[in-house]
């Protein structure tokens, strides 16, 4: 049995998210599995590090797949060339790596980095129209920083989860939230051990509401404590969100 | 007579360049004139700082237009709102400014800044597929820097002009060529008093050939001296080129 790790980049605009679905051909996982299955002449399934929603982008998504000893006839370079030759241009496999049999893109992941880009310009930037969310009002960064500080650490983030039927633990650890300004684009960077369904987008929506002055920074504490989706802010739209990096323990 | 200066951003991918043409509706100038003519209820013509080719982008193109006293009934804010409401999403007017009657976007321009983006990655970046040119080989930056140094100053750049029937002077001054690396993207930045037809793209093509080792840095001097298109390198493709900024004298 051979195990391969893929580093994947995609523009999510045209897709119904990462996860394969019976109802649509337009998923990232589906597209990659199709090409790999063609290469190996048999059905190949890949494990992503996690799902991304429709419209969400990835700079460094990861996945792994296994093939039997008999089918393991291609080098990592051959796999890379083949998949990129057949994948649509808005999905690219950036690298293919032979990994230990125990490696699993989701289960082995130690932490993840997401970025959310906000276009604060008076007129929206042409080049970021698919890669940032718009805000109407001005954002007070100091208020946002203060609110973000309440999120750092281990908390029950149930208020920031869109999945109402979530049965598993909603406790997560956020290591860091940082802010970066480049021209009219404000980028929020989230580093955590894992994120719930829509968690980064709801955190961002809440931070935007606070930055715009519609809520107080201190309310972030109450939003977390409520453990209720209704207590938190709105879900910021998908096009601003990027899965930047999935981190694994050093070998 | 009122004179207005526009600051314009566009993604050139879908367009046949800046200049209005009878044969196509898909030009930047044409689109903006259409909307302004509708606003004023009469034909409005704009002067761009210069043409850009099909597929070339602009972060800070400038243009100006004049309207008679009678028609001058809209504030700069009203003009901005109106044009952006009716322009396609890949063209935005970033600002509208009332300027002196003598201001002319092309004739008053003092200098221009262009950038050319090159994707050197082993696999091309998904997000730069419309905003960078690809190179196959590795680029030696030191060779490129050395070659670029021969271009600085006032020279006859006839070898770097695609217009064979160019009757006017082909002498231009390049103030600076600088290089910036961000991940797999290499950006060449050109600052000059003006650029000939395709000049930035031919300079870039020549620098790429030198960076790849197909020509020597010293050959740049001979390319300039030849005053013949055939002596210089290839014309790098349009999608990597950005008109970044048009500079005017301080008022």
Would you say residue B166 has pLDDT above 90?
no
How does residue A42 score in pLDDT terms, banded at 50, 70 and 90? very high
Helices then strands, each counted (H, E), chain B? 5, 10
Residues of chain A found within 8 Å of residue B126, distances taken between Cβ atoms: 9-11, 89-92
Residue A206 tokens, joined: 């809440």
DSSP per residue over chain A, as a string?
A: -EEEEEEEEE-GGGSS-SS--SS-S--HHHHHHHHHHHHHTS----EESS---TT-EEEEEEEEEEE-TTT----HHHHHHHHHHHS-TTEEEEEEEEE-TT--TTTT--EEEEEEEEE--SS--GGGTTT-EE-SS---HHHHHHHHHTTSEEEE-GGG---TT--S--EEEEEEEEEEEETTEEEEEEEES---TTHHHHHHHHHHHHHTTSS-TTHHHHHHHH-SGGGS-----GGGEEEEEEE----
What's the CA gap between A52 and A17, in Å, rounded? 5
What's the CA gap between B218 and B143, in Å, rounded? 9
Residues of chain A found within 8 Å of residue B95, distances taken between Cβ atoms: 122-123
Distance from CA of A209 to the nearest CA of B (A): 25
How does residue A16 score in pLDDT terms, banded at 50, 70 and 90? very high
Q: Give yes or no for a contact between B94 and B226, defined as CB atoms under 8 angstroms apart.
A: no
What is residue B74's three-state secondary structure?
coil
Contact B123 A89 (CB under 8 A): no
Predicted-complex ipTM score: 0.89
Contact A10 B92 (CB under 8 A): no
pLDDT at A250: 82
Would you say residue A104 has pLDDT above 80?
yes
Which residue of chain B is at minimal alpha-carbon distance from A95?
Answer: B123
Contact B90 A129 (CB under 8 A): yes
What's the CA gap between B15 and A189, in Å, rounded? 35
Would you say residue A251 has pLDDT above 70?
no
Q: Quick one: which H or E segment has residue B62? A: strand B57-67
Would you say residue B136 has pLDDT above 80?
no
Q: Is the dihedral of CA A198, A203, A209, A211 positive or negative?
A: negative
What is the average pLDDT across A133-159? Answer: 95
What is the average pLDDT across B172-181? Answer: 98
What is the average pLDDT across B42-60? Answer: 97
How does residue B164 score in pLDDT terms, banded at 50, 70 and 90? confident
User: Can you give the three-state secondary structure of B161-227, one letter per residue?
Assistant: CCCCCCCCCCEEEEEEEEEEEECCEEEEEEEECCCCCCHHHHHHHHHHHHHCCCCCCCHHHHHHHHC
pLDDT at B29: 98
Which residue of chain A is at minimal alpha-carbon distance from B7?
Answer: A123
Query: DSSP H helical segments within chain B, as ranges?
Result: 28-40, 76-86, 141-149, 199-211, 219-226
The mean of the pLDDT values for chain A is 96
Residues of chain A found within 8 Å of residue B129, distances taken between Cβ atoms: 89-90
pLDDT at A13: 96
Catalytic residue check, B53: yes
How does residue B47 score in pLDDT terms, banded at 50, 70 and 90? very high
Q: What percent of chain A stands above pLDDT 70? A: 100
Give residue ranges of A with CB < 8 Å to any B CB: 9-11, 57, 59, 80, 84, 89-95, 121-127, 129, 131
B84-135 residue pLDDT tens: 999 999 999 999 999 999 999 999 999 999 999 999 999 999 999 999 999 9
Contact B9 A126 (CB under 8 A): yes
CB pairs under 8 A between A and B: 51
How does residue B251 score in pLDDT terms, banded at 50, 70 and 90? low
Q: Of the listed B22, B25, B53, B140, which one is catalytic? A: B53
Contact B92 A123 (CB under 8 A): yes
pLDDT at A119: 97
Would you say residue A163 has pLDDT above 90?
no
Distance from CA of B102 to the nearest CA of A (A): 27
A212-233 residue pLDDT tens: 999 999 999 999 999 999 999 9
How does residue B172 score in pLDDT terms, banded at 50, 70 and 90? very high
Distance from CA of A89 to the nearest CA of B (A): 7
Bridge partners (DSSP) listed for residue A134: A119
Contact B131 A129 (CB under 8 A): no
The mean of the pLDDT values for chain B is 96
What is residue B135's three-state secondary structure?
coil
pLDDT at A137: 78
């Amino acid at each position: 049995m051979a195990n391969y790790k893929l580093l994947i980049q995609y523009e999510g605009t045209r897709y119904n998210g990462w996860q394969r679905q019976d109802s649509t051909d337009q998923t990232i996982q589906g597209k990659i599995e199709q090409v790999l299955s063609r290469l190996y002449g048999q059905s190949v399934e890949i494990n992503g590090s996690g799902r991304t929603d429709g419209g969400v982008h990835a700079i460094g998504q990861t996945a792994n797949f296994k093939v039997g000893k008999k089918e393991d006839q291609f080098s990592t370079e051959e796999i890379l060339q083949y998949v990129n030759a057949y994948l649509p241009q808005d999905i690219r496999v950036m690298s293919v790596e032979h990994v230990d049999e125990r490696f699993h893109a989701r289960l082995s992941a130690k932490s993840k980095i997401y970025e959310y880009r906000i276009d604060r310009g008076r007129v929206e930037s042409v080049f970021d129209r698919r890669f940032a969310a718009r805000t109407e009002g001005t954002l007070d960064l100091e208020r946002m920083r203060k609110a973000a500080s309440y999120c750092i650490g281990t908390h029950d983030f149930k208020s920031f989860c869109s999945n109402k039927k979530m049965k598993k633990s909603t406790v997560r650890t956020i290591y860091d939230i940082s802010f970066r300004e480049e021209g009219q684009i404000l980028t929020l960077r989230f580093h955590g051990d894992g994120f719930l369904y829509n968690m980064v987008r709801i955190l961002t929506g809440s931070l935007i509401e606070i930055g715009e002055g519609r809520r107080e920074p201190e309310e972030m504490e109450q939003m977390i404590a409520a453990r209720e989706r209704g207590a938190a802010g709105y879900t910021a739209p998908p096009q601003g969100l990027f899965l930047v990096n999935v981190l694994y323990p050093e070998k």
